[in-house]
Amino acid sequence: MTAAGQDGDGQQPPPPMRPTRPEPTLPRELVAALTAAPDARERFDQLAPSHRREYVRWVAEARREDSRERRAAQTVMRLLEQR
């Protein structure tokens, strides 16, 4: 590298890659809802990792089981409404 922080061909080296986050563990209610709706599962898998994490967080943070089931069903409906 030269003193200007460039390599021999005049270009700067690429920035270091950020470490990837591991995929979150899906709550069982969300797994059941996505298993029952294969089209929603396909769309869920196509989402950006940050969006998948947000759906998982939203379902998992519910304290009661019926709330988690309701949120999982709402997630499926939202995924199926997307075009």
For 64, which DSSP code? S
Query: Where in the sequence is the domain holding 76, given as residue range(s)?
Result: 28-81
Tally of domains within the chain: 1
Entry pTM: 0.74
Residue 34 lies in a domain: yes
Instruction: Please write the tens of the pLDDT for every residue from 46-68.
Output: 999 999 999 999 999 999 999 99
Residue 36 lies in a domain: yes
| Buried b / exposed e along 24-35 (16+ C-beta atoms within 10 A) | eebbebbeebbe
Average pLDDT, integer, range 17-27: 84
**pLDDT at 9 > cutoff 80:** no
